[in-house]
Structure 1
Amino acid sequence: MIAAGDLSRLPELLHPQAVFRSPMAFTPYESAAAVNLILNTVVRVFEDFGYHRELAGTDGTDVVLEFSARVGDRQLKGIDMIRFDETGLITDFEVMIRPMSGLQALGEEMGRRLAPQLAAMKGRPA
């Protein structure tokens, strides 16, 4: 789905109470709708995105994917830490990114595109 740039099947892979833990926000976004919105937006923000390494837990419910990308002129590296339930649905999606300049560029662009929607999902005014 990532290689094709088409996340249209993502909703069927998300648990209804899936959680997204952003590298920019202290509190997580809690709902499949939030996870879907964030991931569908970030695939359009990232340029030259690619996964490089995959690490998996022994029981198959946890995976860590290492990636690199660019936002404007800022390079970044990161990891996606994904947890699945016993049926294979994504229950938790946590992202960590470095360096700070890449994270800031990503945060600014994601905020520009999603601030009102994400604030509403957390029950706050934009």
Structure 2
Amino acid sequence: MSDHLAPLPRQTLAGWHDFVATGNKDLLTPLLSEHIVFRSPFVQSPIPGRAATYLVLTTVVQIFENFRYGREFVAGTHDAALEFSATIGKWQLKGIDLIKFDDQGQMVEFEVMVRPIKALQVLGEEMGNRIGPELMRLKAGAAAAP
């Protein structure tokens, strides 16, 4: 098995880095599959759907300060792990974004892991304050959809 991303996922990953660097929300939507599943470090159950994932990702890039990616790991042709660091308030954090791509190159799974726990708690509080009710509504709507 090759450990090089296929061309379409590689193109999407480049688009992701452009979105993170610029904060331009218009760049994000075409990168996300309609059926993407987001796995948050705060909740056990996955968060389904493009709208909820878009909301989470566009909010978190506003919260993180000094965000930068470090190492990139590739498994097969459709999976990548991106190591990142950032600050939130007085807390330094490190994390990993685990991303799975479909054959069209869109993101179909996006999972985030963050440490240390205190930074994760502060991030969770900030996310809840900014988008908690809206995210719950989107999650409930996705669960009710056939």
Scaled by the length of structure 2, what TM-score is found? 0.81
Q: Which residue of 1 aligns with 2:95?
A: 78
Q: Percent identity?
A: 48
Aligned mates of 2:76, 2:47 — CA distance in 1? 27
CA contact (8 A) 2:73 2:80 kept: yes
Cα deviation for residue 119 of structure 1 reads: 1.1
Larger Rg: 2
Q: Which residue of 2 aligns with 1:110?
A: 127
Q: Which runs of 4+ in 1 moved over 2 A?
A: none
Cα deviation for residue 3 of structure 1 reads: 1.3
Task: Provide Cα deviations, 1:30-73, integer angstroms capped at 9, x if missing partner.
Answer: 001111110000000000100001001122x0000000011111
Cα deviation for residue 21 of structure 1 reads: 0.2
Q: 1:23 aligns with which of 13, 37, 41?
A: 41
Give 3-state SS (helix, strand or coil) of 2:25's partner.
coil
CA contact (8 A) 2:51 2:138 kept: no
Structure with more of its chain in helix, by fraction: 2
Q: Which residue of 1 aligns with 2:107?
A: 90
Structure number with greater CO (CA < 8 Å, separation at least 6) is 2
Aligned mates of 1:116, 1:76 — CA distance in 2? 25
Q: Which residue of 2 aligns with 1:35?
A: 53
Listed as ranges, the gaps of 5+ residues in structure 2 are: 1-18, 142-146
Cα deviation for residue 7 of structure 1 reads: 3.1
Cα deviation for residue 6 of structure 1 reads: 1.8
Q: Which residue of 2 aligns with 1:10?
A: 28
Structure with more of its chain in strand, by fraction: 1
Cα deviation for residue 5 of structure 1 reads: 2.1
Cα deviation for residue 121 of structure 1 reads: 1.8
